[in-house]
Chains A and B, each alone.
Chain A
Amino acid sequence: MNLSSLTAAAKAEKGVDFGKIVMFGPPIASIAVSVLIVIFIVWPRFSDVMTLQKSNIILTENADKLEKKVTLLSSLDESKLKSQLIASVKLIPSDKEIFNFIGQIEQTRNSSGVAITNLSVGSVGQFGSGKADASGSAPAPPAPGAGDISITGANEVQMKLSVTSDYRSVMQFLNSVYALPRVVLIKDLSLSSAQSQISSSMTINALWAQLPTELASIEAPLSVLTKSQETIIENVEITGSSSNVSNVVPDVQTGRNDLFTPFQ
Chain B
Amino acid sequence: MEWFDTWGLPLIVFLPLVGALVLGLIPKEKEDAIKGTALLFSLVTFGLSLVAIGLFDFGADTYNTYQFEVNTRWIPAIDSNFHVGVDGISLPLLVLSCFVVLLSIIYSWDHWEEPRNPRAFLMLTLILLTGMNGTFVALDLVLFFIFFEVVLVPMYFMIGIWGDKAPRKIPGFSRIVETRLYAAIKFFLFTLFGSAFMLLGFLALYFRSGEFGARTFDIVELTDLGASGAFTGTFAFLVFFGLFLGFAVKVPMWPLHTWLPDAHTAAPTVGSVILAAILLKLGTYGFVRISLPILPNEAVRWAPVIAILAAIGIIYGSLACLAQTDMKRLIAFSSVGHMGFVMLGISTLTDVGINASIIGMVAHGLITGLLFFIAGSMAHRYHTREMARLGGQMKIMPIMGGILGFTAMASLGLPGLAGFWGEFMSLVSSYNPLDGLSLTVFRSAMVAGAIGTVLTAAYMLYMLQQVNFGEPGDEWVGHHFHDVDRYEMTAWVPLIIFTVVVGFYPNLIFGVTNDVVTSLVEMAFQGGSITAGLGG
Asked if chains A and B come from one complex, the reply is: no
User: What is B's interface to A at a CB cutoff of 8 Å?
Assistant: none
